[in-house]
Amino acid sequence: MTKELKHLTTAKYALSLHTTTPELGLAISNFAGETRSQVWNLGRELSSLIHQYLIEFIQPQTWADLSLIAVAKGPGGFTGTRIGVVTARTLGQQLDIPVFAISTLAAVAWSEAGKSQNPKTLAVEMPAQRGQIFAAIYQFEPNTSQLKVCLPDRVLTPEAWQETLANWNTNYQLIQAQSGLAATVTSILELANLDWQEGKCPNWAEALPYYGQHPVEV
């Protein structure tokens, strides 16, 4: 059975979480003029405080007002990413609503793309462990308000990344994603809404973290 998922009604809301860094980012919107977001630097207390902050943040809305959950799936810190995805999956399962797992790098690209109305290629890099780099390349298409994935999230050595960029066949803007990433929680929400409007309805069990690397040497 196909569900009609073109638009959220003004009575329904979407909630997004960003926990891939020591900061907690939350955003909620009905995409009809009401949107709010907030970021807290919780550090090691993220795991013990996230539920308390969620409960307080969504008010005056309730869990029953939510139509979808969106979460930053990584790359990012191993523990924070896991906490965010597990929380989103739990909410999706309990509320029986879809969960959209969105790339941290895609959210950075989308945030930057919103500053321009011109088509552009966005190469995003972020430090990874052991001297490597998380990298992805996107094409922003303003006419369709879409972010096309040209090079999916991956882990590369600095040399391999530089070679990839040197051989890229279009001009690109290089973005270094290093700090303040939780502020892109609104981009997580907007990218999820674009998928929602296309009729996508991912089950909570499909929301998986992207770590890219083992947290420790093996």
Q: What is the pLDDT of residues 55-81, one digit of tens each?
A: 999 999 999 999 999 999 999 999 999
Query: CB–CB of 35/186 below 8 Å?
Result: yes
> What distance in Å separates the CA atoms of residue 75 and residue 153, rounded to the nearest whole number?
8
Q: Identical fold at 13-103+180-206 and 105-176?
A: yes
> How high is the pLDDT of residue 215?
52
> How high is the pLDDT of residue 218?
32
Angle at 91 between CA 90 and CA 95, to 5 degrees: 120
> How high is the pLDDT of residue 8?
58
Q: Where are the domains of the chain?
A: 13-103+180-206, 105-176
Q: pLDDT tens digits for 6-43?
A: 455 555 999 999 999 999 999 999 999 899 999 999 99
> How high is the pLDDT of residue 4?
40
Fold of the 13-103+180-206 domain: Nucleotidyltransferase; domain 5 (3.30.420)
Type and span of the H or E element at 101: strand 99-102
> What distance in Å separates the CA atoms of residue 67 and residue 148, rounded to the nearest whole number?
25
The architecture that CATH gives domain 105-176 is 2-Layer Sandwich (3.30)
Output phi, psi for 73, to 5 deg: -90, 0
> How high is the pLDDT of residue 1?
32
**DSSP for 117-178?**
SS-EEEEEEEE-GGG-EEEEEEEEETTTTEEEEEEEEEEE-HHHHHHHHHT-SS--EEEE--
Q: pLDDT tens digits for 149-208?
A: 999 999 999 999 999 999 999 899 999 998 889 999 999 999 999 999 999 999 999 999
